[in-house]
Amino acid sequence: MATIIDGKKLAQEIRAKLKIECEELKQKGIIPKLAVIMIGEDKASQVYVRNKSKACNEIGIEFEEYLLNENIKQNELIELIEKLNKDTSIKGILLQSPIPKGLDINEAFRTIAPEKDVDGFNPVNVGKLSLNQDTFVSCTPYGIMKMFEAYGIDLEGKNVVILGRSNIVGKPLIQCCLNKNATVTVCHSKTKNIEEYTKRADVVIVAIGKSKFVKEEMIKKDAVIIDVGINRGEDGKLTGDVDFEKVSQKASYITPVPGGVGPMTIAMLMNNVIKASK
């Protein structure tokens, strides 16, 4: 049976440390404050924003929410971001995605000042990550790297296979793992015979959004399995992209869903807000 990587516990430990750092900043007269922009009424986004607000409250980070109507024009969105860039009381800016079709999310991310880009989506920060320079790393990949660190999982020389190539998870993960000297392979929806790659992997990181996609026979014994997927079944239950019950019998380490990568994502967002405030 694999060791379960307890993201919930690790995230709590990180948040407790951040609370102390936040208090120290306040004593120096620096007030960490996060501005979150949400457009429209996407239900899942509302839950994510509520969780971010709760985490900020717990740590002592001020939280300002900008709820915009889904009919907002691109120039109005850009003007708001520019206003927040100039506001010295705001230390971090986050644009909750998805945003309505018709709005240009790339221009919006490009407009967020790199030093306030706590999600790490501004191309300047993406570029710095690819050059292995200090930057804001997007929160889900950053949280996964922290898990490896906390559990003493060294990626150097390991075959890491990433399933999924999204801008927010898969792609930044490629750089994060390369920066740790792993040999990285990326699979996506056009990859043929995915199991040929996963079977050779020392570490498999799955972020595709397909419930229980990774089966026991697709991995080698003692592989490390990181499950990013969040899938809600008809019964309302959450499942990951990995068949946890069976795969956990064969893997050496595995993250559960819920309680694995998810809590780490929010903890690393908080970490980035404190970093931006510093």
Total of residues contacting ligand NAP (CB under 6 A):
25
| Interactions with ligand NAP, residue window 238-277 (CB under 6 A) | 261-262, 265
Active site residue 52: yes
Residue 139, classed as helix, strand or coil, is helix
Q: Give yes or no for residue 8 binding ligand NAP (CB under 6 A).
A: no
Residues 91/29, Cβ–Cβ less than 8 Å = no
Peptide bond into 100 cis (omega under 30): no
Looking at 6, 117, 119, 227, which residue is catalytic?
A: 119
Q: Give yes or no for residue 120 binding ligand NAP (CB under 6 A).
A: no
Cβ-based nearer residue to ligand NAP, 84 or 117:
117
Q: Work out the end-to-end distance of the chain between its first and last CA atoms, rounded to an integer number of angstroms.
A: 42
Residues 241/209, Cβ–Cβ less than 8 Å = yes
Active site residue 119: yes
Cβ-based nearer residue to ligand NAP, 73 or 232:
232
Tokens of 154: 């060294």
Apex CA 209: angle with CA 208 and CA 210, to 5°? 95
Active site residue 275: no
Q: Which residues pair with 224 in a beta bridge?
A: 203, 253
Cβ-based nearer residue to ligand NAP, 80 or 240:
240
| Interactions with ligand NAP, residue window 155-214 (CB under 6 A) | 163-166, 168-170, 187-191, 194, 207-210
Looking at 52, 116, 158, 250, which residue is catalytic?
A: 52
Q: Which residue has the tokens 């819920």?
A: 258
Do you know the residue count of the chain?
278
Q: Which residues pair with 214 in a beta bridge?
A: 242
Residues 62/33, Cβ–Cβ less than 8 Å = yes
State the alpha helices, DSSP H only, in 180-259.
194-198, 244-250
Taking the complex as a whole, the smallest distance from the CB of residue 253 to ligand NAP amounts, in Å, to: 17
Taking the complex as a whole, the smallest distance from the CB of residue 38 to ligand NAP amounts, in Å, to: 16
Taking the complex as a whole, the smallest distance from the CB of residue 72 to ligand NAP amounts, in Å, to: 23
Cβ-based nearer residue to ligand NAP, 36 or 163:
163
Cβ-based nearer residue to ligand NAP, 95 or 230:
230
Indicate which residues carry an active-site annotation: 52, 96, 119
The residues binding ligand NAP (CB under 6 A) are 140, 163-166, 168-170, 187-191, 194, 207-210, 228-231, 261-262, 265
